[in-house]
Amino acid sequence: MLPTTVLSRIVLGASALSTITQLWLFFSASAQFRKFYLYIVFLHVLYLFAEVLVYVLVALSIVRTDAQFLDNKLEANTEPWAQYDSIIGYKGIPGSFRNVKYSNSELVYDHVSHINNQGWFSANEFLVNKPNGIKRYAVLGDSFSAGFNIPISWVDAASNQLDSIELYNFALEGIGINNWHLIYFNEILKYDFDGLIIAASNEQYGIPDMDRRLMIMHSEDDATYIGQFNEVPTASTFYSQLANMTKGYALVSNAKMEQLICVYKPSCESEFSWPAPDLYFLSTAITVFKQLGAYFKLEHDLGQYKEALAARFPESKVMERFADYKQKYPYTPLLEEIVKHCNQTGKEVILVTMPDVSGVNDSVLAQRTHNEMQVLANAMQLRYFNGFSCFKRVPAAAVKDYYYQYDLHWNQNGASLFAAHFANWLSAQNNQP
């Protein structure tokens, strides 16, 4: 590896040599050089561009050590936790891992997440056969239900508060209706269960769960890769596309995590040591620009989605009928298939609105989401729990105590509050004749 100082000297030397050459060409009386001078100037402009680019890359390599930090944000895990699955897209890797996020020089969360031996975010192992006297619900949801960002998910917390009722958590980070459909028919049906809970969020700054394409996450090398697909790709197709997927959470050994965190702390005295690989500078530069492109691509994709959504169902339009719901969310037939199978096999279905922070802070958005879910619940004859009601008595100024400041998800306080309300509601529902 060339140290930054040596690299800078090489660039400065090349620049000086280029300047001398330009002066010589300018004063040269050679007709041959005059003829090709414009071409040479053009090539020199390209060289100057490359020179500036090198200086930018040198600066980036000093200020940032990985593309993950472009927005002063660190999201890292100590162990691989997600793996491609040829049937359902992806599932968890059994075990525990440290989950860390820093943003704006502040710690957002730092906790240990656990995935059971069946590959799901839960502190409990899943048993195929249901114990006598126990009513079991399977839960489909996204990161709010998986509890990826907190030590104890609301599913486990609620299950611990319920008597003779247990909840099995089949939620995963980032997934929605397409993953749920595959998980229900290929995973949940392996277990004895009495009912299904569909916990859906409609985050203002993301894509609603009911409209999400198939999500696949896979931990490989130094990161967990994230991608959306129309259907589950074959193994060969998936791994051939892996390098083009978005790098999400960085994978960092626990031994190096504190050293890495130090980059983000305002007053950290620990010295950062440069990695050993010879091509570190080049690989960092390439990674930075790939991630910068990925960041703008994600923003662009979300913008395009919002435009397409507004085109098929304008925000000003009030949802009143099930036909309106299906117009806004074209993947609704997948949900209908799940509910139809539950009805045919005598399984109860409960629809739950997850209280995301944008809805808790915006009563208009919360009411619109609530109205949409009521239309869906009424059309499919589902029991319905409005999660926003859990925060009805929380003052606006206190919402920050239940959600992370630099993250869209709730913290443990928010998940625990929701779990307590939902457990009470579910217990009352099951006590009714």
Would you state the structure tokens that stand for residue 39, as one six-digit string? 């071409």
- Is the pLDDT at 393 greater than 60? The verdict is yes
Lowest pLDDT segment from 138-142, 173-177, 286-290: 286-290
- Return the pLDDT at 5: 46
Q: Work out the average pLDDT over 112-118.
A: 96
Which residues fall within 8 angstroms of residue 154, CB to CB, at 6 or more apart? 144, 145, 147, 415, 416, 418, 419, 422
Q: How far apart are CA 429 and CA 34, in angstroms?
A: 90
Could you report the per-residue pLDDT of 90-107, keeping only the tens digit for each? 999 999 999 998 887 788
Is the pLDDT assigned to residue 266 strictly greater than 90? no
The model's confidence at residue 259, banded by pLDDT at 50, 70 and 90, is: confident
DSSP 292-343: HHHHHHHHHHHHHHHHHHHHHS-TTSPP-SHHHHHHH-TTHHHHHHHHHHHH
* pLDDT (tens digit per residue) in 285-309: 454 455 455 545 555 677 788 888 8
Return the CATH class of domain 124-213+313-431: alpha beta
- Averaged pLDDT for residues 172-191: 97
Residue 157, burial from CB neighbour count under 10 angstroms (0-12, 13-18, 19+)? buried
260 or 67, greater pLDDT: 260
**pTM of this prediction?**
0.80
Q: What is the pLDDT of residue 69?
A: 40
Q: Which carries the bigger pLDDT value, residue 112 or residue 243?
A: 112
**Structural tokens at position 337:** 């298939």
pLDDT value of residue 207: 86
The pLDDT value given to residue 260: 73
Judge whether residue 72 has pLDDT over 80: no
Query: What is the pLDDT, as a whole number, of residue 409?
Result: 92
| Those residues with Cβ within 8 angstroms of residue 396's Cβ, 6 or more apart along the chain or in another chain | 361
pLDDT of residue 37 exceeding 90, the answer is no
Question: Between β-strands 214-220 and 383-386, what pairing exists: parallel, antiparallel or unpaired?
Answer: unpaired
- The pLDDT value recorded for residue 340 is 98
User: Is the predicted pLDDT of residue 166 greater than 50, yes or no?
Assistant: yes
Q: How far apart are CA 267 and CA 248, in angstroms?
A: 27
pLDDT at position 91 is 97
How would DSSP label each residue in 347-388?
-EEEEEE---HHHHH-HHHHHHHHHHHHHHHHHHT-EEEEGG
Q: Mean per-residue pLDDT for 201-213?
A: 88
Which is more confident, 47 or 306?
306
Q: Give whichever of 55-64, 311-320, 325-334 has the largest mean pLDDT.
A: 325-334
Question: Where is pLDDT greater, at 274 or 393?
Answer: 393
- Which pLDDT band holds residue 242 (cuts at 50, 70, 90)? very high
pLDDT of 192 above 90: yes
Compute the average pLDDT of residues 145-173.
96
Residue 175: band (very low, low, confident or very high) from pLDDT cuts 50, 70, 90:
very high
Kindly compute the dihedral angle of the four CA atoms of residues 159, 160, 162, 163, in this order, to the nearest 10 degrees: 120
The pLDDT mean for the chain works out to 83
Q: Which residue has the higher pLDDT, 214 or 67?
A: 214
Is the Cβ–Cβ distance between 44 and 52 less than 8 Å?
Answer: no
3 state SS of 56: helix
High-pLDDT (> 70) share of the chain, %: 74
pLDDT of 433? 43
Q: Which of 316 and 2 is assigned the larger pLDDT? A: 316
HSE, CB side, 13 Å, CA atoms: give it for residue 87. Answer: 8
Q: Per the structure block, which two tokens stand in for 276?
A: 């050993």
Residue 59 three-state SS: helix
- For 55, 169, 175, 202, 215, the CA distances from 91, given in Å and listed in that order, are 42, 12, 11, 22, 10
Burial of 99: CB neighbours in 10 Å, binned 0-12, 13-18, 19+: buried
Q: Average the pLDDT over 117-145 and give the result.
A: 96
Q: Residue 319: pLDDT above 60?
A: yes
pLDDT band at 164 (very low <50, low <70, confident <90, very high): very high
Stated as kind and residue range, the H or E segment containing 415 is helix 412-431
